[in-house]
């Protein structure tokens, strides 16, 4: 991860670029269309630096290694998850576990009873393992 911190002027410059979806002081989110176009151009033989220059990015601002790292990451995403993976934001994995606060009282009781049953079984299993180690 880059250690650069973008000031307000730099963020404004990046936000004005049509290839930027979002920009904060520590991160830049590129549009899906730019990512797809960049990968296509890379496959056609352009270097990552040339692609970002054509995208009107100031390499002194975003970092000289950023284009190479972005293309490497995007190509890996496409290999693993396909083109749909490019539109997903990083760091947005949500837990599949139900949140008890959003449940009705009956559902909450059932959920918590099941959790207690699971934890008791887990404790019994761990007690058996400790007993076997002690032998």
Give per-residue pLDDT as tens, 91-111: 555 554 556 677 788 988 888
Q: Are residues 23 and 79 in the same domain?
A: yes
Q: Are residues 69 and 110 in the same domain?
A: no
Asked, for residue 3, whether it belongs to a domain, the answer is no
Asked, for residue 95, whether it belongs to a domain, the answer is no
Number of folded domains that form the chain: 2
Q: Are residues 70 and 114 in the same domain?
A: no
Q: Are residues 17 and 83 in the same domain?
A: yes
Asked, for residue 24, whether it belongs to a domain, the answer is yes
Cα distances from 94 to residues 24, 82, 89, 97, in angstroms, run 22, 20, 12, 9
pLDDT in tens, 61-85: 998 999 999 999 999 998 888 888 8
Q: What is the pTM of this model?
A: 0.64
* 90, pLDDT greater than 90: no
Are the beta carbons of 71 and 39 closer than 8 angstroms? yes
Give the residue numbers spanning the domain of 14.
Answer: 8-87
């Amino acid at each position: 991860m880059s250690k650069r911190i973008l000031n307000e002027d730099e963020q404004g410059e990046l936000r004005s670029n049509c290839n930027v979806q979002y920009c904060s002081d520590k991160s830049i989110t590129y549009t899906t269309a730019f990512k797809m176009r960049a990968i296509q151009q890379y496959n056609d033989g352009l270097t990552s630096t040339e692609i970002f220059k054509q995208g009107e990015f100031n390499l002194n601002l975003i970092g000289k290694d950023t284009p190479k790292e972005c293309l490497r990451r995007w190509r890996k995403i496409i290999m693993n998850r396909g083109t749909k993976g490019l539109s997903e934001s990083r760091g947005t994995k949500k837990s599949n576990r139900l949140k008890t606060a959003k449940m009705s009282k009956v559902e909450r009781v059932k959920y918590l009873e099941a959790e207690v049953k699971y934890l008791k079984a887990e404790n019994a299993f761990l007690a058996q393992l400790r007993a076997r180690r002690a032998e």
